[in-house]
Amino acid sequence: MIDIKLIRENPQKYQDACKAKKFDIDIYRLLELDQQLRFNNEHLQDLLTIKNRVGKSIPTLSGNELQAALSELSLTKKEETTLQQQIKELKPEFDALILQVAQPTDDDVPVGKDDTENVEIRREGKVRQFDFEPKDHVQLGTSLDIIDIERGVKLAGTRNYILKGDGAMLHWAVLRFAVDFMVGRGYVPMSVPLLMKDETMTGTGFFPGSEDQTYRMEADQLNLAGTAEVPLTAYRMDEILKTDELPLKFFAMSSCFRREAGSAGKDTYGLYRIHQFDKVEQVVICENSVEESNKFHEEILANSEGVMAALGLPYRVVMVCTGDLGRGQAKKYDIEAWMPSRKNYCETHSASKFYEFQARRMNLRYKDPAAKKNLFCHTLNNTVIASPRVLIPLLELYQNADGSVTIPKVLQPYMGKEKITPRL
């Protein structure tokens, strides 16, 4: 959410920000509502002042004076009711609109319409050239009997799968490695609930907007989180933190649930785009400072790059363009791993910087001794590892001519072996 004061000062900036991110919001309608609400509120406040003053004198009055006071109060009350009625009508529209105003992006964010215009920053690692005809991850998974998509779909419908034997082990190995890695970086491990209230979804910025992408438990009015970003970021929601608590650095491993509505027919092959997966996610909550936010944005990116490097996966870092940014994101880096079967670098990580956009929605603040008041925190998050998507490059790049798959060194302790071999 954006501070209404900032919008008043420079409405065009926010109108432009919405446009760049392809959100159709009428900032000027918002300002109009704001003005009416302020006018009504001021008027109401004056009325209440009178009401309080007269009301307080009531016990000291009697006879005609009392009657006069009471009739004055009944008049102000009538006026108060009218005003409150008007406010009640205007407020919901105002609230709904201001939640939709987009966070302006940093100046260095490239302008573009969609993900095809994201800008590559650099490439890391060497893409493997095969001297045999490589299989894709589905073929490998089937021949090694470690991935069973057909039966996953039988049980749970399209975009579902089952990992089996070394497939399940490899999946967990990757996650466990990521967990240990993040512990090593000093982040606090968290095990969190995944059925989230609407307020939590709104606080983190997923609602309004991503209702279509969210599995909803209507009977209980809860929502299955699509990422542990939601519980981790909202963990201290509605609180005022002590300055020395900051920065908060968390990570959680969790299952993630996504409806993938609107992507019918897209990425239908294999384990790329699925309804349920597991992810280790990192979140940083820091003080209200652009420098701090930038510092931690680089830090969480570096954490994930550390994981990719340890896994020996070639990847590139891209800066996401305006048209591909979410409403609240000021800047975002994606890490894209090389996926041989897709013949491209494909997204495996997404490092987002929000400034106070989420914190303001969640009313997450801290006492700032310098400013001598409560400021909204800044929030950031990034994937540490998401599996089974990362198994795509992992299996495909580590395959051998004989159909086996070598297990990356750092994962071997978790697997208790060096190779996944076909059953005979």
Partner RNA sequence: GGAGCAGUGGCUGAGCGGCUGAAAGCGACGGUCUUGAAAACCGUUUUACCCAUUGGGUAACGGGGGUUCGAAUCCCUCCUGCUCCGCCA
Report the interface residues with RNA, using CB under 7 A: 5, 38, 41-42, 45-46, 48-49, 51-56, 58-59, 70, 73-74, 77, 240, 365, 367, 373-374
Query: Is residue 255 annotated as part of the catalytic site, yes or no?
Result: no
Q: Nearer to RNA by C-beta: 56 or 423?
A: 56
Alpha helices in 21-62 (DSSP H): 27-57
What are the backbone dihedrals phi and psi of residue 61, each rounded to the nearest 5 degrees, phi first?
Answer: -100, 160
Q: Nearer to RNA by C-beta: 114 or 238?
A: 238
Do residues 230 and 258 make contact, with C-beta atoms less than 8 angstroms apart? no
Shortest distance (Å) from residue 219 CB to RNA: 10
Shortest distance (Å) from residue 317 CB to RNA: 37
What span, in angstroms and rounded, lies between the C-alpha atoms of 391 and 12? Answer: 45
Q: Which of 281, 299, 336, 347 is catalytic?
A: 347
Q: What residues are paired with 284 via a beta bridge?
A: 249, 380
Q: Which residue has the tokens 């896994």?
A: 311
Query: Is residue 360 annotated as part of the catalytic site, yes or no?
Result: no
Shortest distance (Å) from residue 5 CB to RNA: 7
Do residues 18 and 25 make contact, with C-beta atoms less than 8 angstroms apart? yes
**Two tokens at 27?**
């900032």
Q: What is the Cα 135 distance to its own chain's centre?
A: 34
The angle that helices 27-57 and 11-20 make with each other, rounded to 10 degrees, is: 130
Pairing assessment for the beta strands 248-257 and 188-190 based on DSSP bridges: parallel
Q: Nearer to RNA by C-beta: 46 or 120?
A: 46
Query: Is residue 418 annotated as part of the catalytic site, yes or no?
Result: no
Shortest distance (Å) from residue 95 CB to RNA: 13
Neighbours of 291 (CB within 10 A): 9
Query: Is residue 122 annotated as part of the catalytic site, yes or no?
Result: no
Q: Nearer to RNA by C-beta: 188 or 240?
A: 240
DSSP 399: B
Shortest distance (Å) from residue 175 CB to RNA: 23
Q: Nearer to RNA by C-beta: 8 or 128?
A: 8
Q: Which of 293, 350, 352, 387 is catalytic?
A: 350
Do residues 283 and 250 make contact, with C-beta atoms less than 8 angstroms apart? yes
Q: Nearer to RNA by C-beta: 94 or 187?
A: 94
Query: Is residue 123 annotated as part of the catalytic site, yes or no?
Result: no
What span, in angstroms and rounded, lies between the C-alpha atoms of 373 and 53? Answer: 31
Q: Which of 8, 123, 216, 273 is catalytic?
A: 273
**Two tokens at 128?**
């493997």
- Residue 59 CB-density burial (10 A; 0-12 exposed, 13-18 middle, 19+ buried): exposed
Q: Which of 159, 210, 254, 258 is catalytic?
A: 258
Shortest distance (Å) from residue 58 CB to RNA: 4
User: Where in the sequence numbering do the catalytic residues fall?
Assistant: 258, 273, 347, 350, 389
